[in-house]
């Protein structure tokens, strides 16, 4: 599914990656996008929507470029490659 969006190198970060998620937690996913694949915002939204439907839990998808700088440093410390 990620291939259709030109996404690769999926990594989970946040509470799920740290092992302190609760039943109300979402899944945070960091991906790399092919720069030739079109609008990044539309692609991460599409990935998030499809994964949320498949998994039955909200999945937030971001790229390094879309992460806020304050979040980026801690996100990279948490990441778990899939």
Question: What is the residue range of 59's domain?
Answer: 2-81
- The rounded distance, in Å, linking the Cα atoms of 26 and 29 is 10
Alpha-carbon distances, residue 31 vs 8, 14, 24, 43 (angstroms): 6, 14, 23, 11
CATH code (residue 43): 3.30.460.10
Please, is 13 exposed, middle or buried when counting C-beta atoms within 10 Å of its C-beta (0-12, 13-18, 19+)? buried
The domain total for the chain is 1
pLDDT of 12 above 60: yes
Question: Model confidence over 13-59: pLDDT tens digits?
Answer: 999 999 999 999 999 999 999 999 899 999 999 999 999 999 999 99
Phi and psi angles of residue 48, each rounded to the nearest 5 degrees, phi first? -60, -40
């Amino acid at each position: 599914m990620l291939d259709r969006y030109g996404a690769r190198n999926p990594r989970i970060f946040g509470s799920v990656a740290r092992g302190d998620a609760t039943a109300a937690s979402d899944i945070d996913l960091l991906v790399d996008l092919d720069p030739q694949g079109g609008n990044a915002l539309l692609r991460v939204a599409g990935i998030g929507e499809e994964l949320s439907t498949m998994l039955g839990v909200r999945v937030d998808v971001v790229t390094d470029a879309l992460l806020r700088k304050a979040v980026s440093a801690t996100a990279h410390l948490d990441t778990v490659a899939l």
